[in-house]
Structure 1
Amino acid sequence: MAPKFKDGDAVVAVNGKWVSWSHTVVAYAAFFSALVVGMSLHFHKIVQNEHYGYPDEWFPSVSATIGDRYPERSVFQVFIAITSGPRFALVFLWYILTARPNSALPKIVAGTGIFRTLMCGGWTYVTSTDDHDWHDIFMISYLVATLPWTLGCLALSPNNRRAVKYRKIMASLFFGTLVPLIYYFIQHKVHKVAGAYTRYAFFEWSLILFDVGFDAITAIDFEGFELVVRDVKGVSRGQLKTTADAVLEKEKGKPVGNTFGEGFFWSEITDAAADVYNGFVFWSILTSLGVQIWYFPLWSMGISGYEVVLLSCIAPFLLAIPGLRSLATKNTRILHLLSLAGLLAYKVQEPASRLLVTGFAVSTTCIAWSATFFGERGQAARLDARILAWAAGLTMSSIAKFACRTNNPIWPIMHAENGGWNKLGIALAVFAILRSTRRSATPGSDYLPSTGKKGSPVLAGLGIGGLIFAMHSLLSDSSTMIAWVWEGYPIRGPIAVPHGAVTIFAMGAGLVYGVFNPRLAGSWTAFGLGSIGAAFLTCYSHWTGFYGGLVLTFYLLAVTPVLISSAVRHSPAVTFGLGFLAYVFLVLFHVWVVAYAFVPGGPLVREHTDWLMTTMMLLLGAGVFSASVSNSGPTKHKPVNPNSKRTKSYYVYVLAALQLLSVSIAYLRFPTNDYVPYHKEDKVATVGIWTIHFALDNNMWSSERRMRDVIKELELDVIGLLESDNQRIIMGNRDATQFLAEDLGMYVDFGPGPNKHTWGSALLSKFPIVNSTHHLLPSPVGELAPAIHATLDMYGEMVDVVVFHSGQEEDPEDRRLQTEYLSHLMGDSPRPLILLSYLVTKPLEGNYNTYVSETSGMKDIDPTDWDRWCEYILYKKLKRTGYARVSRDTITDTEIQVGKFVIGEPEAEDELRVPEETVPQGRRFPAMFRGQGVRGHRYHVFDEPRYWQ
């Protein structure tokens, strides 16, 4: 209730600006008093980090200053506790200032301010030493909430030029500082550059200045308040025009003004979220098909027959039947519900049956979405909403894989034991379908008059095919394009984490741009820029190639509304049926370029990803041409429902939330790069080689978690993985090394990349990877042979490790040339070297005698082991102490071979076999794998490890 005092009757009146000033002064005092105390008492300790100390590092970070040391931590916490009172008062007064009738934004901003304050208390009073996970959760929540708080305050700012100017400056400085902050953090964490953390610290302290300074500007606005509390200028309760009001009034009639100029309703944001989740389900089902098909040719080493299930996606051709088209358009809810069989398929244990169930789901969901788009063709606002939902669903799919380290948690190759969220995914999908389809699509008449231009349905269909393939092959996982441009250590380009979030941001930005600027997005200029981006991605590595990929990403999402809006003007059987047929062709094309040795006609397109990308862009160009004809007509459709103009805004809100989620995931997944070998005190390096069958086990389940367990239990410091490149549609666009490296705490190198047409090799190491080079060995006839040549820092000594996959048995000339190449490569290395390989040769015969020769300088870890054909561990200039063979259970079709080496001791002239009991404990293999072993893993062939003195 308002006070009943007359003007001037207040006993005590405190101007509202002092709330802002007290908050500013006490907040700055908290941080800088801790800095002064810390620098005075513990200077050398707080500038020390995991890599360097004084004098390389000479200024402390915020966290080191306010962290665990007494008394600076206590000084900081006392002042920050005092800050909480003015902080809550500041949020309250800001709400009083900006609240307006029928406006939800002030309430959202106030709620964000309260949440942000609570999160500040969380990371302040729970340090990383107390609980690292909760400290990070509070910290990232605080940082994420800063964006909506800042933007909300800018939008609601009273139309005071001075305050708005200062807010823009502080916000720009805050967010601009994040760029060098992240750069120097990566220089410190990844590259271990001396002094980088000091530079990082300066930018981190700058963030404190700008963050508190942004809120200090409220002092200008609160001058109109007096605390008792009386509004002396009548600025509260919506009587003052805000910056947002001014902008929306200026933009009235334009796309942005029409979109964001209406009220906010929770029911409609729920509808938008349900629509987007429905799009996520589509992409989850479609992307799960390829990896299940791959299981069968993988085991048969050639065409299996199950590849025909890929044709299930051309089911929209059935919409050529008028009755079926009408039925599908009017009953999209039933079709969407039937498509959930693809999510329930994880309950089917037998691989072939699981694939067939998924094939049915793919055909159903393709018909459902084709009918949905076609059914909304007469209502532009709802059509735009469906397109936004479908494309944002791809973004959500990529984020889900980003969070789950490249596996979609609702795929049928996932279940609870290997990280699946199948039950939750299905429950949300049912809710989303029921919610998003409760307003059934109405056929409506085509909004072009009968004399209007519609373009070519065939060209429109080809454009749809090129679009879906491009989105699936390059954007269904945020790390795919990064794998294309990765060339090894030292790092000279993007890495999957955190830069996957940049790809996701480009997706969202492109989609929003395309919705608001369809004519520009559908122009030939935009197509030319997209083509240049595709060329750079194909032809260049490192950042140059990635920047090209980002341009292509932005273009693909921007042109999506244009191509689909053009396609729905024709029969869906032609545009979407033909589109998915073109998609099938491109999928086979992109498999043929690498699988040329196993498929008919393969040599015709061998290693021609450039042809594939050209074809993809030509198909997109066909769609752009058809759309340009459609857009050339004079008629412009107006939405029937005037309230529908705000519909797009809710999808933009959902996209914004997804972007914040991706940034949070990038922060939480950022590599720590502080890995320690298992037996550091003994200077032992335990190495292994394993052919992992593309991280798909014998029963068609994703196998990363089972692989992690056995690698960890074997205490492997270095392991080479072969048949590891999954960055294609047919393999699910996955990367098993991300999960393994993060869970095991290892550095990772993979390559050559998917655009180099190999089955892949990877290196995981507890030791820092100082340098690495990727090789494609001579392969004039058969499949390409990849190799990684890396230099590791093992306890201060530089040791080379080569991971290599030889060509197949049917091509002896390839294998001979590869043997000579690799033998010279190893022989030319002056350092100790370990080869972790797949050689396709018998011990002591043929090419074996070139690998183990004076040319290479290599020795076999156990020449008496006659029962080998593929996997070998060779070495030189190292002290070998142990060797074992471990069964793989049902994870793959190849065992694990393991060796132990002692670093820093000279290689023995005459190594003698010794019994295990004479071997020091730190040099022994784990005892758990003796006898029957664990989970199907045991020492086999010679039933126990072998040791040498």
Structure 2
Amino acid sequence: MPPKHRDGDVIAVIPGQWITHLHTISAYSAFLGALVVGVYLHYYQIVENQYYSYPTEWIPSVSSTIGDRFPERTVFQYFIAVCSGPRFLLCFLFYCLTNKKGEAGAKFVAGVGVLRTLTCGGWTYVTSTDNHDWHDIFMVSYLVASIPWTVGCILLGPVNPRTVRLRKWLGGAFFATLVPMLYFFLQHKIHHVAGAYTIYAFFEWSLVLLDVGFDAVTAIDFAGLELVVKDIKGMRRGDNKQVQDAVLEKQKDMPIGQVFDHKFDVNELADAAADVYLGFVFWSVLTSLGVSIWYFPLWHMGLSGYEVVVMSTISPFLLEIPQLRRLAGKNVTTLQLSMGLFGLGCYALPSPLGRLGAVTVAVWQGCLAYAAVWWRDRGDAPKLEARISGFVIGLIGSSIAKFANGTNNPTWPIMNEANGGWNKTFLALFALAIVWLYMRQSTMASSGSVQKHEGPVKGSSVLAGLGFAGLLFAMHSLLSDSSTIILWVWTGYPVNGPLAVPHGAWTILTMGLGLVFGLFYPNLTRSWTAFGVGSIGAAFLTLFEDWTGYYGGLTLTFYLTAITPILITNAVKFPPGRTFFTGFFVYNFMVLFHVWVVAYAFVPGGPLVREHTDWVMATTMLLIGCGVFSALQNSGGQQQSTAQNKSSTYTAPPPNPAARRQRSYYIAILLFLQLLSISIAYLRFPSYNYQPYHKDSRAITAGIWTTHFNIDNDMWSSDRRIKQLIQESELDLIGLLESDTQRIIMGMRDPTQYLAEELGMWVDFGPGPNKHTWGCALLSKFPILNSTHHLTPSPSGELAPAIHATILAYDTLVDVFVFHSGQEEDVEDRRQQTAYMSQLMGSHDRPAILLSYLITKPGEGNYNTWVSETSGMKDIDASDWDRWCEYILYRGLRRTGYARVSRGTITDTELQVGKFVVGEADGSGELIPEDQVPHGLRFPSLFRGEGVRGHRYHVFDEPRYYA
């Protein structure tokens, strides 16, 4: 009988869980590596199927990603080959763990595991392109073998409540996912439903993640196993030190290993959650200040005087007084309490001025609180890191809240229960967070330890403050809404770049990755190399469009969140009063700077910065560069010490177990938020199965409306009421003017997202927020085949934006023009704009509709160029003399109706609506009674008489119909 053990030197000890980890990493690398390479090289090709292409389909299927093209197929096959070794070992270890004498179950499950591995190799190396039948045979065999493997692992695995629970959840989710996946595949294959293949692909990728995740659970089971290699004949050369010792010595120094090597503590998780929620509240309050101020100059049509409250952010100057500094440091939670009560509770005040006043107080208290808490915890690195992490993750949470709510933050003072606000819910959550912090205040408070300086603080506090100013402005102006940088690079149809949904989730993911990188690799992040990369990203975002510009924006996004811990940690080394006063004051200047580049016609000195977003971006990066310079001045000691150990040069592992444990909770919260944003992107993705209201009549109902930035007469968000009126008016096309709200002063919003999704319409945002206009947009029930954006000649006044779109309406190409003219004072501008647009409209002979804001009287001046042989356009009703701004012109269609609908309290401009029939010649133009009009061509009766909610037919008191 052979001996059970052999003497000899142990030359290698491999922990059992390493086998599982290697299997998980190689498997995920195969699929995700192929996906990354495929998206980068062949995105449009791999999302296209036999029926639809991008943007209708936007997630590639697993099979098209891994099997159709080089080099992604090679990436997949390479890592799957690497995965095969750990896979066989995984089956062997599980057999060793579960085998019992006299029972065949473990042998059966191990055999099934080997069969799954072999069939996986079958469908991996025989792609559907090579041989569709054999590929499917191997794939079906793999799925069938997954059933006994899953059940066997659950029944035979070690009795561990954690692993049993994980296996049940993951296995159940795996098989549950098969049902909707099959359903959407049939919707695509049989019914040719647009977008169904994207949803099918989503479930297909989920299946992959769940399958690999189920096997990853074995790492818990294998924690008590080791693979031991012994030299029983003394043949090994070298010393006899065990390899395991060396491995463990290295493992304990790995940052990720340190972070997650701890026991879970619910109190500490609650501390982190409360910290993040207060960061969310701060960003919600700060971003609400601009939109609250904007209401007043909006209705004054110029400076109102209330703009001065933008200076409410400079409250940290009080920290220059030692007594107030100490008082604020001891009462940070009280300051945060007042921030939340005023900022979240102000929605209950009916007066716009009252809400502005409350928000001003909230911002004052919030900026003071954060400056105080950063300064208070400056001597305790883990606590300072926690405060900064909560601050950045709070911004991510605020962006996700807007992502889920049509770019309106549901806590803002312009929101209430009627228009989509969740004010009470978030107030309740704030109360829980504050109560928790008061209860845990003794634990959360700084230990009072003295700040450890490696040397005297170098440089000026001004540089540190300027760095903070540039950082805060960049985060607010680019990252407080997930769609901002996407709209910067938007160029229209056909779509050649990112979409707000789903790619807003990419922006949010990049924010989180940047923060994690900055925490783990601070020395690399603070380097001039990293600053250079971030600056290149800023340049690409500013200068390029579509995907190129967006990738630049993602690079800048990553850098901004990564550098945040560096710049704030450096800023608190200086006296907080002067440093953060400088930071917030210069931030305010940047806010005005970035608004004045478009509002130059209404502010003193505005023409000096007219249309210079490039100057704004350059100044922002120069300010951040000042902060980087200051941080490098004060990091010499750390760099010198780390230079002695190359393995840690770019790494800053938390200094103690408590700090490591704390960091893991913030990363866990960040991971949860990322999953939430992905879920939101999935739920919000449009169906693209839109239909016009009266397709049997071949009718187009078109409207023009100046929505005044979607803020109503009483400073409430008007998105939902605008949607309701458009829906009740049965509009197939609508041009929206004064619709660009992607600026700090307007809340960084995009109302067209909500309107398009709720109304079921394609949308073109028009010239982006970096094009210096007040905006114009087009929503259409008909597919937009092509669109171009125009900035019409404006030598003196504000830029006048225009959209020229071609839609497919009842198998007929129809041109649609949306245009917003310059101001009344700029006569030459309007003359040149008229000539430009008339030439543009006359350059095509297709049927056309103009939805416009012209600033002219019917029959006078520029009107005779708009309605002329040059443009080829007709006025929808030349007898309507009571017009000045809004006009509807048309060509090559039969005009059947015209109506004017009063605005109610939504805005200061009415909705004008025209009805047209495609494919018929224009009639005689005589007015006819409604009873001679087919029902499909009639206007809704809802707005007759007194109408509803202040909306009624006016001027004519009823719609006009034409023969």
TM interval, short-chain normalised? 0.7 to 0.9
Residue 90, structure 1, aligned to residue 153, structure 2: yes
Check 1:272–1:713 CA distance in 2 against 1; reply closer, same or farther (3 A cut).
same
1:269 maps to 2:273: no
Q: Does 1:926 align with 2:926?
A: no
Amino acid at match of 2:169: F
Task: Give the equivalent residue in structure 2 for 1:627.
Answer: 631
Structure 2 counterpart of 1:712: 727
Counterpart of 1:593 in structure 2 is 597
Asked if the contact 2:764/2:779 (under 8 Å) is kept, the reply is yes
Shift of 1:407: 0.7
Paired with 1:309 and 1:733, the residues of 2 have a C-alpha distance of: 18
**Equivalent pair of 1:508/1:557 in contact (CA under 8 Å):** yes
Say which of 467, 470, 473 aligns to 1:469: 473
Deviation at 1:843, TM superposition (A): 1.0
User: Alignment partner for residue 874 of structure 2, among 834, 845, 859?
Assistant: 859
Percent identity (aligned):
57
Retained in 2: the 8 A contact 1:881–1:902?
yes
Q: Distance in 2 between matches of 1:883 and 1:793?
A: 22
Q: Report the counterpart of residue 415 of structure 1 in structure 2.
A: 416
Report the secondary structure of 1:597's partner residue. Answer: coil
Take 1:205 and 1:450, find their aligned partners in 2: how far apart are those partners? 53
* Cα RMSD (Å): 3.6
Equivalent AA in structure 2 for residue 467 of structure 1: L
Q: Distance in 2 between matches of 1:574 and 1:80?
A: 65
- The answer on whether the counterparts of 1:503 and 1:550 sit within 8 Å (CA) in structure 2 is yes
Q: C-alpha displacement at 1:90, in angstroms?
A: 2.5
Distance 1:95 1:244 in 2: 25
Deviations 1:233-272 (A, max 9, x none): x977845599999987633224323222222223222222
Instruction: Report the CA distance between 1:844 and its aligned residue.
Output: 1.0
**Helix, strand or coil for the counterpart of 1:822?**
helix
Task: Give the one of 739, 763, 785 matched to 1:770.
Answer: 785
1:279 is aligned to 2:333: no
* Residue 188 of structure 1, CA deviation: 9.9
Between the aligned partners of 2:930 and 2:670, the Cα distance in structure 1 is 59
Is 2:704 the partner of 1:689? Answer: yes
Shift of 1:12: 3.9
TM-score, reference length from structure 1 = 0.81
Q: Unaligned stretches of 5+ in structure 1?
A: 1-6, 33-38, 40-57, 66-75, 100-105, 140-180, 191-195, 223-233
1:365-376 aligned within 5 A: 365-376=366-377
CA distance in 2, matches of 1:23, 1:88: 15
Q: 2:301 & 2:132 partners in 1: Cα distance?
A: 59
Cα distance 1:582–1:80, how it changes in 2: closer, same or farther (>3 A)?
same
Match of 2:887 in 1: 872
Structure 1 residues 770 and 415 mapped into 2: Cα distance closer, same or farther (>3 Å)? same
Instruction: Please state how far the C-alpha of 1:653 moved relative to its aligned partner.
Output: 1.0
Alignment check: 8 A CA contact 2:787 2:804 kept: yes
Contact 2:700–2:918, Cα closer than 8 Å, also in 1: yes
Describe the SS at the equivalent of 1:907.
coil
TM-score normalised over the length of structure 2:
0.80
1:566-605 Cα distance to aligned partner (Å, 9 max, x none): 0111111122111010100000000110000000000010
Which residue of structure 2 aligns with residue 746 of structure 1?
761
Match of 1:532 among 536, 546, 551: 536
Q: Which runs of 5+ in 2 are unaligned?
A: 1-97, 229-242, 642-651
The DSSP-based 3-state class of the residue aligned with 2:411 is coil
Secondary structure at 1:748's aligned position in 2? strand
* 8 Å CA contact retained: 1:593, 1:607: yes
Task: Give the structure 2 partner of residue 164 of structure 1.
Answer: none
Give the residue type in structure 2 aligned to 1:838: Y
Matches within 5 A, 1:469-488: 469-488=473-492
**For residues 306-337 of structure 1, what are the alpha-carbon distances to aligned partners after superposition, in whole Å with 9 as ceiling and x for unaligned?**
10111001101111111111011011111110
Amino acid at match of 2:666: Y
Label 1:24 to 1:281 Cα distance change in 2 as closer, same or farther (>3 A): farther
Q: Which residue of 2 aligns with 1:346?
A: 347
1:415-564 equivalence runs, <5 A: 415-436=416-437, 438=440, 439-442=443-446, 444=448, 446-449=450-453, 451-564=455-568
1:896–1:217 distance in 2 versus 1, CA, 3 Å? closer
Residue in structure 2 matched with residue 177 of structure 1 by the alignment:
none
Change in 2 beyond 3 A, CA 1:683/1:570: same
Partner of 1:703: 718
Which residue does 2:582 correspond to in 1?
578
Does the Cα contact within 8 Å between 1:689 and 1:720 map onto a contact in 2? yes
Moved more, 245-254 or 910-919: 245-254
What displacement does 1:862 show? 0.6
Q: What letter is aligned with 1:354?
A: R
Q: Per-residue displacement from partner, 1:816-851 (whole Å, max 9, x unpaired)? A: 110111111111112111000000111111111110
Q: Which residue of 1 aligns with 2:390?
A: 389
Measure, in 1, the Cα distance between the counterparts of 2:453 and 2:354. Answer: 48
Look up the match of 2:105. Answer: 14
Query: CA deviation digits over 1:425-470, x for unaligned, max 9?
Result: 0111122233346234337355344842343211000100100000
Aligned residue for 2:325? 325
Tell me if structure 1 keeps the 8 A contact 2:302–2:602: yes
Query: Residue 378 of structure 1 corresponds to which residue in structure 2?
Result: 379
Does the CA contact (< 8 Å) of 1:330 and 1:440 recur in 2? no
Q: Which amino acid aligns with 2:286?
A: L
Name the residue aligned to 1:70. none
Partners in 1 of 2:564 and 2:933 — Cα distance? 64
Task: Identify the match of residue 659 of structure 2 among 634, 638, 644.
Answer: 644
Matched, 1:944 2:958: yes
**Structure 2 vs 1, CA of residues 503 and 207 (structure 1 numbering), >3 Å: closer, same or farther?**
closer
SS across alignment from 2:765: strand
Task: Give the Cα–Cα distance (whole angstroms) in 2 for the partners of residues 484 and 857 of structure 1.
Answer: 33
Distance 1:235 1:916, change over 3 A: closer
Identify the residue that residue 407 of structure 2 maps to in structure 1: 406
Deviation of 1:19 after TM superposition, in Å, equals: 7.3
Deviation at 1:14, TM superposition (A): 1.7
1:515-568 deviations in whole A, cap 9, x for unaligned?
001111111111111111101101111111101101100000010000000011
Distance 1:11 1:315, change over 3 A: same
Mapped to 2, the partners of 1:665 and 1:845 lie a distance apart of 51
Q: Is the 8 A contact 2:174 2:211 kept in 1?
A: no
Matched residue type, 2:960? R
Using a 3 Å threshold, how does the CA distance of structure 1 residues 455 and 491 change in structure 2: closer, same or farther?
same
Instruction: Tell me which residue corresponds to 1:143.
Output: none
Partner of 1:251: 251
Conserved in 2, the CA contact under 8 Å of 1:533 and 1:552?
yes
Q: CA deviation at 1:21?
A: 2.3
Does 2:788 match 1:801?
A: no
Aligned residues, how many?
A: 824
Name the residue aligned to 1:721.
736
CA apart distance, 1:921:
0.3
State how far apart, in whole Å, the 2-side matches of 1:713 and 1:323 are: 61
Summarize deviations over 1:697-726 as a string: whole Å, max 9, x none.
Answer: 111111111111110111100000000001
Q: Which residue of 114, 126, 134 maps to 2:168?
A: 114
Distance 1:330 1:296 in 2: 37
- Please give the residue correspondences for 1:600-611 in structure 2 after superposition, counting only pairs within 5 Å: 600-611=604-615
Secondary structure of the residue aligned to 1:444 is coil
Taking a change above 3 Å as real, the CA distance of residues 470 and 918 of structure 1, as seen in their structure-2 partners, is: same
Please report how far the alpha carbon of residue 757 of structure 1 lies from its aligned counterpart in structure 2 after TM superposition. Answer: 0.2
CA offsets 1:493-521 (integer angstroms, 9 cap, x no match): 11101111111111001000000011111
Q: Does the Cα contact within 8 Å between 1:684 and 1:903 map onto a contact in 2?
A: yes
Q: Does the aligned pair in 1 maintain the 2:109–2:148 contact within 8 Å?
A: no
Deviation at 1:668, TM superposition (A): 1.1
SS at match of 2:637: coil
Q: Which runs of 4+ in 1 moved over 6 A?
A: 22-29, 79-85, 126-129, 200-206, 215-219, 234-237, 241-248, 635-640
